[in-house]
Amino acid sequence: MGRKLTGAMAEQRTEPAAGEAILQVRGLTKRLGAVEALRDVTFTVHEGESFVIMGPSGAGKSVLLKHLVGLLRPDAGEIVLWGLPVHDADEATWDRLRTRIGVVFQSAALFDSLTVGENVAFPLRRHRRLPEAEVRRIVAAKLRLVDLEGVEDRFPAELSGGMRKRVGIARALALDPELILYDEPTGGLDPLTARAVDALIARLRAQLAVTSVIVTHDLETAFGVGDRLALLWEGRLVAVGPPQAVAADPRPEVQSFLGSRPQVTRPAAVGPR
């Protein structure tokens, strides 16, 4: 008998129909020193989809994520974003693309010397020329989206870990991205706070119709928010598919990571509002 996944996984959710391909990774290979960190990694993420890349520590998840934001170049293979090959793109091209991509870092990566409002406003001030009143309006709106109204004047050190994570999400939303990349969004959080962050990710995806790629080792997060899951194991993708299919995959790498085959239950489908 597999364990029953709870929290955001309490009800059944059907897999949405695939939309336009937003992100395509083809044969991605990367060697770091003597280690082949990624080996022939191939997958596609569709518009509006919540795609989870899961795996144990050292599997290559962080290396893969750095390729998706242009911080690393592959030794072989291709990365295509919105139909544009970017695996060998120059920094000017990546700067333009990054205005369409929000990134939520594992540690939230807030600037300690800036207030919450200044942290959320940072991408706006860097990439947009807006009146200050409009910047303040957008900051307040993004903080409302993550249930943090009225904290603009506080500093990150005054916030709990869960609140800092929410501020990081608000900052990632500042430029209204079409794609959000989450790096271990529940890392370092207690279970209750982690499930609240899962619920927030699912709600934002529904409200904003945004495409999400979530990198995690947290099975509750993976099965709770993912329309499709990809298991990265020693630099290779060994399983890609809907949660139920991955949970039932008999390959030893899959079952070793899962620990025991989960009894997968999913939240009800919620369309964009």
In the predicted model, is pLDDT for residue 270 greater than 60? Answer: no
The pLDDT tens digits for 83-128 are 999 999 999 999 999 999 999 988 778 999 999 999 999 999 999 9
The pLDDT tens digits for 178-216 are 999 999 999 889 999 999 999 999 999 999 999 999 999
Burial class from Cβ neighbours inside 10 Å (0-12, 13-18, 19+) for residue 113 reads exposed
Give the pLDDT confidence score for residue 5 in this predicted structure.
42
In the predicted model, is pLDDT for residue 272 greater than 70? Answer: no
Bin 88: left if φ > 0, else alpha if -120 < ψ < 50, else beta. alpha
| Residues written for the chain | 273
What global pTM score does this model have?
0.86
Average pLDDT over residues 164-189: 94
Nearest to residue 91, comparing CAs of 104, 103, 73?
73
The pLDDT tens digits for 45-84 are 999 999 999 999 889 999 999 999 999 999 999 999 999 9
Query: Quick count: other Cβ atoms within 10 Å of Cβ 39?
Result: 18
Give the pLDDT confidence score for residue 222 in this predicted structure.
95
Range with the poorest average pLDDT among 13-27, 95-109, 116-130, 164-178: 13-27
In the predicted model, is pLDDT for residue 268 greater than 60? Answer: no
Give the pLDDT confidence score for residue 7 in this predicted structure.
37
**pLDDT above 90 coverage of the chain, percent:** 81
In the predicted model, is pLDDT for residue 12 greater than 60? Answer: no
**Edge to edge, what strands does the sheet with 50-54 contain?**
101-104, 179-183, 211-216, 50-54, 228-233, 236-241
Check if the beta carbon of residue 126 is closer than 8 Å to that of residue 174: no
Cα separation of the two ends of the chain: 38
Give the pLDDT confidence score for residue 18 in this predicted structure.
57
When the pLDDT of each residue in the chain is averaged and rounded to a whole number, the result is 88
